Amino acid sequence: MAEPVKDMTKEFEEHGSSLWKDAWIKLRKNHMALFGLSVLVILIFSSLLTPWIAPYSYEAQNLDLGATAPSMAHWLGTDIFGRDMLTRIMYGGRVSLMVGFIATAVALVIGILWGATAGFFGGRIDALMMRIVDILYALPFMIFIVLLMVVFGRNILLLFLAIGAVEWLTMARIVRGQVMALRNLEFVEAANSLGLSQWTIIRRHIIPNTLGPVIVYTTLTIPSVMLLEAFLSFLGLGIQPPESSWGLLINYGVETMEEYPWLLMFPGIALSLTLFALNFLGDGLRDALDPRTSKD
Amino acid sequence: MKTFDSPSCSKTTSGNIHSGFSYGLLTLILLLLVGCGTSENNVSNGNRDSILHWGNGTEPQSLDPHIATGVPEHHIITSVMEGLVLKDRKTLGPIPGIAESWTISDDGTVYTFKLRKNAKWSNGDPHIAQDYVWSWWRAMQPGLGNLYVYMLFPIKNAQKYYEGEIKDFADVGIKALDNHTLQVTLTNATPYFLQLLDHYSTFPVHQATIEKFGTADQRGTRWTYEGNLVGNGAFRLADWKINRRIVVEKNPLYWDATNVRLNKIIFYPTENVTTEERMFRAGQLHVSNDIPADKISVYKEKRDPSLRLAPYLGVYFYRVNINQPHLADKRVRQALAMSIDRDQLTKNIVKAGETPAYAITPPGTIGYQPPRQFNFDPEAARQLLADAGYLNGEGFPTTEILYNTNEAHRKIAVAIQQMWKEHLNIDIQLLNQEWKVYLASESAGQYQISRAGWIGDYVDPNNFLDLFLCDGGNNRTGWCNEEFDRLILEVAPKAKTHEERLAIFTQAENILLDEMPMLPIYIYASKRLIHPSVKNYDSNLLDQPSYRDIYLESPIEAAEKDTNL
Amino acid sequence: MIKFALGRLLQAIPVLLVVITATFFLVHSAPGGPFSADKAVPPEVIKALEAQYNLDQPVWQQYFNYLGDVVKGDFGPSFKYSGRTVNELIAAGLPTTAELAFYAMLIAVGIGVLAGVTASLRPNTMQDYVPMTAAMIGICMPSFLLGPLLVLVFGIYLDWLPISGWGDIPGDKILPSITLGTGYAAYIARLSRGGMLEVLSQDYIRTARAKGLSEPLIIIKHALRGGLIPVVAFLGPAFAGLLGGSFVVETIFQIPGLGRFYVQAAFNRDYTLILGMTVFFSTLIIVFNLLSDMLAIWLNPKLRQEIRGTK
């Protein structure tokens, strides 16, 4: 892990444009990343506009119609209650994207702070903080959820917290490892001796070098958070019918994948599309932010 | 400590590398994984060896008949144990079991059973009338925590003994007159008493075995394990691998062993209903415990002979908490009941031949036809709601439907939620809770409307109506009506004729339906997949198979009727 | 190294104590006791049952009694499975789950490393894109979806493989192992690609190439050792994840493993079983994290020095 930052020592003399400006210039050249970005932007906008552009009501039922395959009237078919799937996927996307981004952000903030602190100070503080992570890993998640549900009732905020509380652990371990490896490297020491302030060191060296793995892990976290949300909603924490999310739609779709495959396929496609878009964007961002590639 | 690193990759170019070897290895692994294995078929093997493969729902908690409480337990226990009386597998009428005959006194309170002389325990011990006296004494020990102890309460002084009012068990109406004669005295004539004797909670247990592994009222001893369990049924326990399978094999000492045709039954804990249906399709089960609702139409369209749907003695309903201010008005409860379109629900949501319910008692229960007081009538429902002060649903507080986490319950709740929104213009929220939380909320009265179901233990309206007695533990609605209680507890037991008794039940049910502390939704149907090679399996109201009669058709004939979809 | 391992094991004791304590009070404060049922349970029955399992004692006393038993290695009786002890249930489920996790791990490492290494050899070509896209799909395919899909295709339509059970019918271990292993194979593919790319750009590889060593030799003898460090570090948490995540697969394929016991225990409020399983799982997680850390140290000389220097 220590290797990739070696070349960094050369960067000291440079007073180029800021990290982000550089990154943006590089990102614009990356077609896949731009594709990912535009897909995400489209998804976010259509989610925001859903109440105005959705073709049908997301809750009105037509039990006699039931589950029908895609048709001109219902482009993505209908579910067993005769509700339009396109509409339900659009509404579901609002929930999933919101949960995905907010819960991941919660996990990110806690994980980075925790991991960076542990990694930066090391020694006893590090051992203590990491043992706490071990403990949290080991607690029975299901009981924890049931308890949360009873103590706090149903609450979408609580859902974010519960998911964030679970997902930050791995993030903390990654950040800690990264920071630890960087801490003792020559270039940081060199920067110290050059009289650069701690903040500058963190901003110019630690953050850029930690960012890559964090971004990659974030792109992996968002979809897993969306699926976790489905599991929690299924257990009764989180959103309740008639509202839905992509994860829940997939969950229901699995049960009838032989009879009504479109109930699984379309929400699955929506989730995968988001995942790929995030992944392309994530890879692009990582490359764009990688200090070494700036010389290429 | 080191942590695992995430893929921190750099885009460095590498040289030209021959990577053929990677592909070779990859192919090898794939071949290794996919290339082997053909599925053997339990069903065809079972038909050859007379082994029945049975999907049993869940892992049983206990095989002790005085501790167990569930349907999966029922299936296994009835294969290894037997009561005084059996039920006809079609009509459920009583037929001789361990008792070869019985007489009933003219006033219907004294039953005298003649036990079979050739009845034996599976270890060879003689099976005598005293076994029942001891077993029922044990069943009534408070320390045992027998949840079905009330099945014995029709017996004279049984309840008083259980509750400690009477100390001497000799005062309870159970007497062994000699080794083969058992006399049971009841408090009142109880028309359904013989039926109770086929319920596992009244089965006899083998005293020496129980005392070998612990005291009579000790829970959790090892007497029900394979190698230990001594029973009196057509089969005996051969193997119990927890969460994997339970195997019972033919008991050669059973009194009717010559007529038992299965060699073995293997019970599988098939928790996941989707998996179970696929196991059935792959020929790994003869009988499934259930079938996913959305699969039923597929089987119906194919006219698959495996699909077995039959009426089931149970009712699905919603409890209404009448202590909630806005639900205290019976007009509101009536309006809710009248705006559920039960035909839609049974036809398009549950789909397995369930029938709409307009009363708590399933129709046709020993000839009883429950009264019908209302129909699906949104117009009248809106009027009732308006009379109660909620014109066009305005001002009606947001109301929550509580249900335990389950796909089927969710679907029904989602449909009803929308029906009430549409017809009554009221705001309904859904709340699902994990099973134990749901039970705690419901029994503490912390709900507004709550999903419920009741499956009859025996075929009698009494078993449904007594749910709503004032201090009945299963009432949970806060509803209490003295006249209703009096009819059920005092008037009905004294009825002289069957017709008179049913008339009293009708009267009681009319009160219940007028007050509507519960909203009846549908009458259950039993739904199973049964392979055509399984013979003598008749569906009945209690969905109780008779293992001693079942046999499997020869594999050649079965092959012709192979039903793989 | 031994000192390092011993130190970590000593640290594990307070961790386990906190886990037991937190879990104990967590399960005891969850609503609904082990004996509640849908049929009304008379209060006197509840009382009798609680007395039999010592649940009528004050919670603190139960807690210390429990700690005393755990030290002796006794997890107590299961509340739900009448007559069975928690030790017995763990012993019944462990071989199955361990075997499942082991096969899944083999698949994950086998396929993951192959795919990752293959991709890293020609970055940004089809040889890179194809396995990495497959890895992305693997990551986003949850086992509750992959399992039923595999069952449908290989079990029902093609009728090649059995779809349930474990060790009952030849071949019934294949589908569950693949289902459980795939997600981790995908992660490992990404990790090993990253690791290999780093290593392949190092001077010593260039030197080896300059010396004219054959490519397979360079990769196997020199590059893999360094390139797989991130993978090795991931194995500990991954194995823990496999054990914990096996319950979905166990449910789909009707496998009698620990995962199913654990979930059932949580639903049933089987206090002793939940606690026993938690202690058992935490111990496993700690041990596997330690093992994978030790392996990573052994592979990475730099870290080895660091450990020697600090201890």
Mean pLDDT lowest for which of A213-217, A277-281, B246-250?
A213-217
CA distance C179 to C177: 5
User: Which residue of C lies nearest to A4 if distances are taken between CA atoms?
Assistant: C198
Mean pLDDT within B496-500: 90
User: Which residue of B lies nearest to A118 if distances are taken between CA atoms?
Assistant: B1
Residues of chain C contacting residue A131, judged by C-beta atoms under 8 Å apart: 11, 14-15
User: Which residue of C lies nearest to B5 if distances are taken between CA atoms?
Assistant: C230
* Within-domain flag for A295: no
- Going by the DSSP 8-state scheme, the letter that residue B6 receives in this structure is P
Of A22 and C23, the structure prediction assigns the larger pLDDT to C23
pLDDT tens digit sequence for C97-108: 889 999 999 999
Residue A11 pLDDT > 70: no
Asked if C233 and B2 come within 8 Å (Cβ–Cβ), the reply is yes
* Within-domain flag for C64: no
Residues of chain A contacting residue C123, judged by C-beta atoms under 8 Å apart: none
Residues of chain B contacting residue A208, judged by C-beta atoms under 8 Å apart: none
Of B383 and C301, the structure prediction assigns the larger pLDDT to B383
In single-letter form, the type of residue at position C36 comes to S
Residue C279 pLDDT > 70: yes
Task: Give the closest of B3, B348, B429 to A174, CB-based.
Answer: B3
Task: Give the closest of B3, B345, B434 to A177, CB-based.
Answer: B3
Q: What is the domain extent for residue C176?
A: 93-308
Q: Output the pLDDT for position A17.
A: 52
The B residues from 64 to 103 touching C (CB cutoff 8 Å) are: 64, 67, 69
Percentage of chain B lying above the pLDDT 70 cut: 91
Asked if B145 and C166 come within 8 Å (Cβ–Cβ), the reply is no
Residue B45 pLDDT > 80: yes
* Within-domain flag for A215: yes
pLDDT tens digit sequence for B180-234: 999 999 999 888 999 999 999 999 999 999 999 999 988 888 999 989 999 999 9
Q: Output the pLDDT for position B413.
A: 95
Is A248 within 8 Å of A268 (Cβ atoms)? no
Mean pLDDT within B500-520: 95
CA distances from B94 to A217, B84, B194, B491 (A): 67, 10, 7, 26
User: Which residue of A lies nearest to C137 if distances are taken between CA atoms?
Assistant: A272
Q: What's the first-to-final CA gap in chain A, in angstroms? A: 21
Residues of chain A contacting residue B298, judged by C-beta atoms under 8 Å apart: 258-259
* Within-domain flag for A111: yes
Q: Output the pLDDT for position B28.
A: 47
Closest C-alpha among B233, B238, B181 to residue B206: B233
Asked if B37 and C160 come within 8 Å (Cβ–Cβ), the reply is yes
CA–centroid distance for C159 within its chain: 30
* Within-domain flag for A56: no
DSSP output for C245-272: HHHHHHHHTT--SHHHHHHHHHHHT-HH
Mean pLDDT within C183-194: 84
> Which residues are bridge partners to B307 per DSSP?
B529
How many H-runs (helices) and E-runs (strands) does chain A carry? 11, 0
Q: Output the pLDDT for position A18.
A: 65
Q: Output the pLDDT for position B55.
A: 95
Residue B505 pLDDT > 90: yes
Mean pLDDT lowest for which of A192-201, C121-130, C138-147?
A192-201
Q: Output the pLDDT for position B151.
A: 92
Asked if B272 reaches chain C (Cβ–Cβ under 8 Å), the answer is yes
Asked if C260 and B243 come within 8 Å (Cβ–Cβ), the reply is yes
* Within-domain flag for C116: yes
Asked if A209 reaches chain C (Cβ–Cβ under 8 Å), the answer is no
Neighbours of chain C (3+ CB pairs under 8 A): A, B
Asked if B405 reaches chain A (Cβ–Cβ under 8 Å), the answer is yes
* Within-domain flag for C98: yes
Is B401 within 8 Å of B418 (Cβ atoms)? no
Looking up residue C143, the CATH number of its domain turns out to be: 1.10.3720.10
Task: Give the closest of A61, A66, A287 to B418, CB-based.
Answer: A61
* Within-domain flag for C245: yes
* Within-domain flag for A166: yes
**pLDDT grade for B65, boundaries at 50, 70 and 90:** very high
Min distance C25 CA to chain A CA atoms (Å)? 11
Asked if B243 and C160 come within 8 Å (Cβ–Cβ), the reply is no
Asked if A16 reaches chain C (Cβ–Cβ under 8 Å), the answer is no
Residues of chain C contacting residue A246, judged by C-beta atoms under 8 Å apart: none
Asked if B12 and C123 come within 8 Å (Cβ–Cβ), the reply is yes
Residues of chain B contacting residue C311, judged by C-beta atoms under 8 Å apart: none
The domain total for chain A is 1
Mean pLDDT within B359-381: 91
Q: What is the domain extent for residue A195?
A: 31-44+86-288
* Within-domain flag for A249: yes
Residues ≥6 apart with Cβ < 8 Å to C153: none
Asked if A148 reaches chain C (Cβ–Cβ under 8 Å), the answer is no
* Within-domain flag for C8: no
Residue C51 pLDDT > 90: no
Mean pLDDT lowest for which of B94-98, C67-71, C290-294?
C290-294
Residues of chain C contacting residue A2, judged by C-beta atoms under 8 Å apart: 302
Q: Output the pLDDT for position B101.
A: 95
* Within-domain flag for C84: no
Q: Is B175 left (phi over 0), alpha (psi -120 to 50) or beta?
A: beta
Residues of chain C contacting residue B18, judged by C-beta atoms under 8 Å apart: 215-216
Asked if B10 reaches chain A (Cβ–Cβ under 8 Å), the answer is yes
Of B467 and A147, the structure prediction assigns the larger pLDDT to B467
Mean pLDDT lowest for which of B104-113, B116-125, B221-230, C198-207?
C198-207
Percentage of chain A lying above the pLDDT 90 cut: 8
Residue B345 pLDDT > 90: yes
Asked if B62 reaches chain C (Cβ–Cβ under 8 Å), the answer is yes
Q: Determine which helix (DSSP H) or strand (DSSP E) holds B486, and give its type and residue range.
A: helix B482-486
- Going by the DSSP 8-state scheme, the letter that residue C77 receives in this structure is B
Q: Output the pLDDT for position B38.
A: 43
Task: Give the closest of C140, C144, C266 to A271, CB-based.
Answer: C140
Q: Output the pLDDT for position A185.
A: 67
The C residues from 184 to 203 touching A (CB cutoff 8 Å) are: 187, 190, 198, 202
Residues of chain C contacting residue A177, judged by C-beta atoms under 8 Å apart: 233
Residues of chain B contacting residue C156, judged by C-beta atoms under 8 Å apart: 278, 281-282
CA distances from B454 to B235, B317, B495 (A): 30, 8, 25
* Within-domain flag for A26: no
User: Which residue of C lies nearest to B164 if distances are taken between CA atoms?
Assistant: C44
Q: Is C212 left (phi over 0), alpha (psi -120 to 50) or beta?
A: left
* Within-domain flag for A227: yes
Looking up residue A189, the CATH number of its domain turns out to be: 1.10.3720.10
Asked if C15 and A137 come within 8 Å (Cβ–Cβ), the reply is no
Asked if C120 and B29 come within 8 Å (Cβ–Cβ), the reply is no
Asked if C14 reaches chain A (Cβ–Cβ under 8 Å), the answer is yes
pLDDT tens digit sequence for A32-84: 888 889 999 999 998 889 888 888 888 888 888 888 889 888 889 899 898 99
Mean pLDDT within B127-146: 93
CA distance B551 to B556: 15
Q: Output the pLDDT for position B557.
A: 54
Mean pLDDT within C67-76: 89
CA distance B77 to B69: 11
Q: Is B77 left (phi over 0), alpha (psi -120 to 50) or beta?
A: alpha
**B329-354: b (≥16 Cβ within 10 Å) or e:** bbbbbbbbbbbbbbebbbebbbbbbb
Q: Output the pLDDT for position C40.
A: 78
Mean pLDDT within C249-254: 87
Asked if B6 and C230 come within 8 Å (Cβ–Cβ), the reply is yes
pLDDT tens digit sequence for A239-296: 778 888 888 898 888 888 888 999 999 998 888 888 888 888 887 887 777 655 443 3
The domain total for chain C is 1
Neighbours of chain B (3+ CB pairs under 8 A): A, C
Q: Output the pLDDT for position A142.
A: 61
Asked if A146 and C14 come within 8 Å (Cβ–Cβ), the reply is no
Of A147 and C273, the structure prediction assigns the larger pLDDT to C273
**pLDDT grade for B51, boundaries at 50, 70 and 90:** very high
Residue B486 pLDDT > 70: yes
B166: its two tokens: 């009477």
The B residues from 420 to 449 touching C (CB cutoff 8 Å) are: 434-437, 439-441, 443
Task: Give the closest of A59, A66, A216 to B7, CB-based.
Answer: A216
* Within-domain flag for C83: no
Asked if B242 and C92 come within 8 Å (Cβ–Cβ), the reply is yes
The B residues from 219 to 248 touching C (CB cutoff 8 Å) are: 219-225, 241-244
Min distance A159 CA to chain C CA atoms (Å)? 18
Mean pLDDT within B393-422: 92
**pLDDT grade for C302, boundaries at 50, 70 and 90:** low
* Within-domain flag for C210: yes
Please provide the average confidence, as pLDDT, over all residues in chain B.
88
